[in-house]
Structure 1
């Protein structure tokens, strides 16, 4: 918990004193900035990964899969706490009803105009930028690219043993691919150093898990979907 609190604090203090060495403003990110959009969207994305991981732990006795599920659930729950903590710290909403998921990835300036007063102006003036998706369309029934549908979650909850293991690994592979694309967007566009660092860490960790899951699927005579 201390590590989470320290990281959240770093998002506020890392730019202190008006401007940092990188030239980013110490003002809180704007409502539609990449920093805020990523925090909102990845918090939702992570929540589903946690949900799927808890489902599969009850559907199989296979220790490698259960261990992977525990690691993913623990890591992503902690990261979700950081993201929500930043939104609270910045005084920004966790949900914006009329904001399309991942629309922040279309921001033309990487979010530098999305802080402070410029960010507030962006609420009225970003209509062309923040209504476009940055990483391709989600599949029908899914909120964001990589996310599972309600039907897929129900199928996971009904499966047992090897079937549950394979479906979980396939769903989580898709989920990680969507998460990696989004995290790369923040690593490029977010203005908050601590958030960029977290996003880059997500990219590296989830790419490593993608390799592991491909091997686990092969061991079970299966392969990633698509």
Structure 2
């Protein structure tokens, strides 16, 4: 049995096939991220992704039914990584003399703004605008992201002894909209990275200072 075949075995002792399957999924996601960024979501084929990752179509279809389902897993992975970093960086925020400034500085180092993911996400949003099923799936994934970010905002504000002047879910949406808009602009002007970061820092500080008051 070759390595590709062994990845899709479903029954074996010690859970080894499960670990191999998880490894296969991660490698497929990595290959998809690179392929979508290079070729575009619509133009990229399953064969292109498998070729880059070193898999057969069988390995792909043992984990995903469609490219859209693959993108969904990619969205979950990338956003989960960002939120996990933000959550980690916000630990102890209540001990800072200026929790708002500290939160902004810490989180700016957490949210990925790499050109690869920005290109993939932006193009998929355009794809979803033309395909209702993709739009529905993206809306569901985005809702989960908003819910987690909302909880992160609520927890941070409570620990810092502050009070929100607007609902946490609306503030979370504002933060995401601000971040997404700036990183898309940055993707078309890589030389403006420092300016974009400074602009995001200033905008986030203004937004958060107007949104919170002492408890």
Fold shared, TM-score > 0.5 on shorter chain: no
Q: Say which structure is richer in helix.
A: 2
| TM-score of the pair, normalised by structure 1 | 0.28
| TM-score of the pair, normalised by structure 2 | 0.29
Higher relative contact order (CA closer than 8 Å, sequence separation 6+): 1
